Structure 1
Amino acid sequence: MAQILGTIAKWAIPVGLAAGAAQSAMYDVQGGYRAVIFDRIQGVKSVSVGEGTHFLVPWLQRAVLFDVRTKPRNISTTTGSKDMQMVSLTLRVLHRPEIKNLPSIYQNLGLDYDERVLPSIGNEVLKSIVAQFDASELITQREVVSAKIREELYKRAKDFNLALEDVSIVSVYV
């Protein structure tokens, strides 16, 4: 009995260290997520990693997880129309990051890319489009206004590697 306990004690620490090393070398990417690998020597790797269990070099590499599912975002602004009336608009934007450009998004914008980009480009586009219409035209030509906003927002979001699934005007108050 003493010999068995001695053998277990002799092997417990090396086996525990090996199991800990193996555990720290593995990471899991859940469904709806992608991982960008940050390497302490080479920086951000140029390819993102898909779903499943993967390996990395512990303490040298780190996996940064991105949620690539479509997410909603409301953008509200108050701006002047062509006839100088104050108009309040709210947009609902369904967006997601472009998967092939995740490393670039991580390098340039970080994990909170949507909080940094969408409010600024949304307000910019809303103000430029609303200034082209009278307050009454914003209501009567809502489809035209919505189409222009959608088109411009798609262009601006593309510059930041964001894919917009849908853009719709939720409310207009004159």
Structure 2
Amino acid sequence: MNMERRGFPVWSIVAIVLIILGAITAGLSIETVPEGSRGVVTKWGKVTGRTLGPGMNFLNPIGVDVISVNVRTRKFEQIEEAATKDQQDVQATVVVAYHPEPQRVGQIYTDHGLDYEAKLVTPGVTESIKVATAHYSAEQLVTQRAQASDEISKIITAKLAANGIIADSVNLINYQFSADYTKAIEDKVAAEQLAKTEEMRVRIVTAQAEQAVVAAKGEAEAIALMAKALADAPDVLKLKQIEMMREKWDGIMPRVVGADGMSLLMTTGE
């Protein structure tokens, strides 16, 4: 009230404050970038090279616009057709989890706009599958699946990284050949496995036979040595016979009953 009596109404003071604040903020505007995104700043439609992080950002509003680019991980899944080293057609199902590199979203937007999946990810994955598959025959894609999948993953990762796209994971879900060709491969693999099993069985039988020969040879040599020893010392053989007789004797002398009923003691002599 004192101010009003002095000729300074309250509303005029409020107006002055607002004018001052307006003058301070006249050159600024607030731009909010969502979480999981980056803001690409353009001026008069041209990318300035400035990228805004998530949250509130102050900008000069004159001719300035902010394009929000999602940098969260996305899932890309596609069935790709390719040819093997031996010219067999194959379909490969691949799943890629990816996101644009936050520091390069400005360049990505400048070169490809917001539809970078169609312009970078799809052709990058397609080309990588064709290049990697051409390194293997159809049979090798089946028998060396882990190695082929690893190579495809590395090629896709490098291809996307060159264009500012980070591959978080690459999974090769399946290779699909024609039914006849798939069966032919399976039959060949089964035949090779059977041949290896038979080869191992033959090795085992051969080893057992060799062991039997060695054992028989050793036994024959032992018998020959014993025979030679006995031939060189015949008394040893007689002594051995006597020892065997003693082992069997029950200690009772043999008796023979004569015609007159008398018992006769049998004696042995040489």
User: TM-score, structure 1 length as denominator?
Assistant: 0.81
Q: Is the Cα contact below 8 Å between 1:82 and 1:131 reproduced in 2?
A: yes
Query: Which of 93, 98, 102 is the aligned partner of 1:99?
Result: 102
Corresponding residue for residue 166 of structure 1: 169
How do residues 54-65 of structure 1 correspond to structure 2 at under 5 angstroms?
54-65=57-68
C-alpha distance in structure 2 between counterparts of 1:85 and 1:93, whole Å? 24
- Alignment partner of 1:152 is 2:149: no
Larger helix proportion, structure 1 or 2?
2
- Name which of 73, 93, 101 aligns with 2:76: 73
Q: Give, in whole Å, the separation in 1 of the partners of 2:169 and 2:175.
A: 18
The question of whether the paired residues in 2 share the 8 Å contact of 1:89 and 1:172 is answered with yes
Which residue of structure 2 aligns with residue 46 of structure 1?
49
1:127 aligns with 2:130: yes
Q: Which runs of 5+ in 2 are unaligned?
A: 1-10, 178-270
User: Per-residue displacement from partner, 1:59-113 (whole Å, max 9, x unpaired)?
Assistant: 5100000111110101321122122221000111111111111111111111111
Partner of 1:29: 33
Ranked by relative contact order (alpha carbons within 8 Å, sequence separation 6 or more), the top structure is: 1
CA contact (8 A) 1:38 1:44 kept: yes
In the aligned structure 1, how far is the partner of 2:90 from the partner of 2:35? 41
Aligned residue number for residue 3 of structure 1: none
Do the aligned residues in 2 keep the contact of 1:81 with 1:130 (CA within 8 Å)?
Answer: yes
Shift of 1:54: 1.6
Matching residue within 137, 142, 147 for 2:140: 137
Q: RMSD over aligned Cα, in angstroms? A: 2.3
- Displacement after TM superposition at 1:152 (Å): 1.1
Amino acid at match of 1:159: A
Q: In the comparison of the two structures, how many residue pairs are matched?
A: 157
State the SS of the aligned residue for 1:102. Answer: helix
TM-score (norm 2): 0.54
Separation in 1, partners of 2:50, 2:145? 41
Q: Report the Cα distance in structure 1 between the residues aligned to 2:147 and 2:65, rounded to whole angstroms.
A: 47
8 A Cα contact 1:70 1:94, kept in partner: yes
C-alpha distance in structure 2 between counterparts of 1:108 and 1:65, whole Å: 16
Which amino acid counterpart does residue 166 of structure 2 have in structure 1?
A
Alpha-carbon distance between aligned partners in 1 of 2:42 and 2:60, rounded to the nearest angstrom: 11
Runs of 4+ residues deviating >6 angstroms: none
1:76–1:123 Cα contact (<8 Å) kept: no
Question: Which structure would you say has the larger Rg?
Answer: 2
Q: Indicate if the aligned counterparts of 1:29 and 1:53 stay in contact, CA closer than 8 A.
A: yes
* Match for residue 88 of structure 1 among 86, 91, 96: 91
Contact 1:56-1:62 at 8 Å conserved across structures: no
Percent of matched pairs sharing the same residue: 25
Provide structure 1 residue ranges, at least 5 long, that are not aligned to the other structure: 1-6
Distance in 2 of aligned mates of 1:45 and 1:141: 49
Structure 1 counterpart SS, 2:149: helix
Task: Specify the SS of the correspondent of 1:107.
Answer: helix
